[in-house]
Amino acid sequence: MKIVVIGGGACGASAAARLRRLDDNAEILILEKTDEISIANCGLPYYCSGVIENESSMHVSSIQKFKNLLNVDIKLGAEVTKIDRKSKTVIVNGLEKLSYDKLVLAPGARPSVPPIEGISDNPKIFTVRMLKDAENIKSFVKNNNVKNAVVIGGGFIGVEMAENLSLLNGVKTTLIEQASHILPPVDKETAAFAQNIMREHGINLILSDGVKFFTKEEIVLMSGKKVAYDIVILAVGVKPETSLAKDCGLDIGKTGGIKVNKNMQTSDPDIYAGGDSVEVEDFVTGEPALVPLAGPANRQGRIIADNIAGYNSFYKKTIGSAVVKVFDLAIACAGSSEEILSKKNIPYWKTFTFGFSHANYYPGATRTMYKLLFNKDGQILGVQAAGYEGVEKRVDVIATAMRANLKVWDLIDSELCYAPPYSSAKDPVNILGMHADNILKGFVKPAFYEDIKGSLLVDIRSKEEFENETIEGAINIFTPQLRTRFTELPKDKKIVLFCNTGFQSYVASRILIQKGFNNVYSLTGGITLYKELIKNAVKSLQSTGV
């Protein structure tokens, strides 16, 4: 059997390697139109700054390894210009005709380049997708005395590029994002942590503003604001590469990606497709989606190989687990965001907690903010986290729980490793499950940042803590005093109790609920989350000149 793989990235290379392990007699050929194969694309921002020093480190595998160890043939600079499904052949570089028994389409995606005046043929504007792109950026910065760097787009790559450009000596970095916050997979509260730390490290953030046009020296924004630049990185997303699929008549999905079934087969049973070019099913919403992530691409390559070799293998939807480094901070997420759930009209509950990275009595413990989204049946819809240690560990645990269709109650029962240097007896994952359980059972009514305005705010911390800092307009009744002072509070007004992170206010709300109060709420995340959101709001207003 002859298998031709178009594309030598994560999906294509994984498919070829897996297929060889399953069938040592198959004839396997990878056609890659560039001169790069198995490049660590996710590491490109760090290579641009020199955090990853050696170019050799960016190669996940090599032509020699594929040929010598796996007996897989590779042709670089081999662009497939046509697929003839009837004759089961492909045309390479417009000349060479090659036959196949099974074809794997893994062409990946290309950087989006919006039709904005001043982009075309501008030597100062770059995209980041291939190793050569990073080499060009490094060379340009080195040879052109770059002082002002601008990143357009606040997704994962945009944020990573902004951080790494800011690490270069003498480079002032600005990030421009058209949406109201960076990092689209997470919500505004989680993004606020990233935005605050980026500003603390000197990155200028311009939000809720887009590019109108480029001059040779300045970027003119929709707001009229002008930003000087020596180099621009376009990081406004990617588009699935589907030209070959369209030209040969394969079905294209609603999102613009190649349509495949659970076996990763296209509408032609002899052609498989995977990676950034295909449309997948979202785990939470059940709707078609484009999820250009390395993990799913590698798994899809393995599944394609299994099916070609005769082993029935399925792709089981995409959760979209992801993590990004923002200086010392880690932002991680899995599943749907609140914004997506609201947009799709999917009912949900939410809660915020703060958990220590390990036992707080053991030196070096740091706090992580968690946001959990779930429904009335206890189904976990999404999780987000922002912190410094163990962040991705807990998100991974919850993503695994989602994959196994576990409920929030199962998080309570999760038996996770514990020793003081690593965790707490009640892990943050357990605490999230307990919070959700309390909400669903009606033991507590959660309040959020948006509930503060118009409510009676009660700071239930000690007098000393209250006098040190509080939320404007709040009154102070220390939790132990509530049992005797509850008569000072009205029962006909919405009351929001708050403390540092939300636990003490939960205890206080239980006291009042058992005293007959039905309109009392606990501010999830407490004043700690409130301060982070206020800091972000103030800086955002300052950046717009308001």
Residues labelled as active-site residues? 42
Q: What is d(CA 42, CA 231) in angstroms, rounded to the nearest whole number?
A: 21
Tokens matching residue 491: 């029962």
Angle, nearest 10°, between helix axes 391-403 and 428-440? 50
Report the SS3 class of residue 68: helix
Report the phi/psi class of residue 208: left, alpha or beta, with left for phi > 0 and alpha for psi in -120 to 50: left
CA angle 108, 320, 48 (to 5 degrees): 55
Which of these, 469, 501, 450, 471, lies nearest to 188 by C-alpha position?
450
Query: Residue 110 gets which letter from DSSP?
Result: E
Q: Which residues pair with 329 in a beta bridge?
A: 326
Q: How many helices (H) and strands (E) does the chain have?
A: 16, 30
Q: What is d(CA 266, CA 250) in angstroms, rounded to the nearest whole number?
A: 7
Tokens matching residue 340: 């997506």
Q: What is d(CA 430, CA 433) in angstroms, rounded to the nearest whole number?
A: 5
Which of these, 545, 490, 478, 479, lies nearest to 517 by C-alpha position?
490
Cβ count near 438 (within 10 Å) = 18
Q: 296: part of which helix (H) or strand (E)? A: helix 294-308
Q: What is d(CA 50, CA 396) in angstroms, rounded to the nearest whole number?
A: 29
DSSP H helices, 320-474, are 338-343, 391-403, 408-412, 428-440, 463-468
Q: Which residues pair with 288 in a beta bridge?
A: 281
Which of these, 33, 37, 131, 134, lies nearest to 90 by C-alpha position?
33
Q: Evaluate the CA torsion angle 277, 279, 283, 285 in order and state its sign.
A: positive
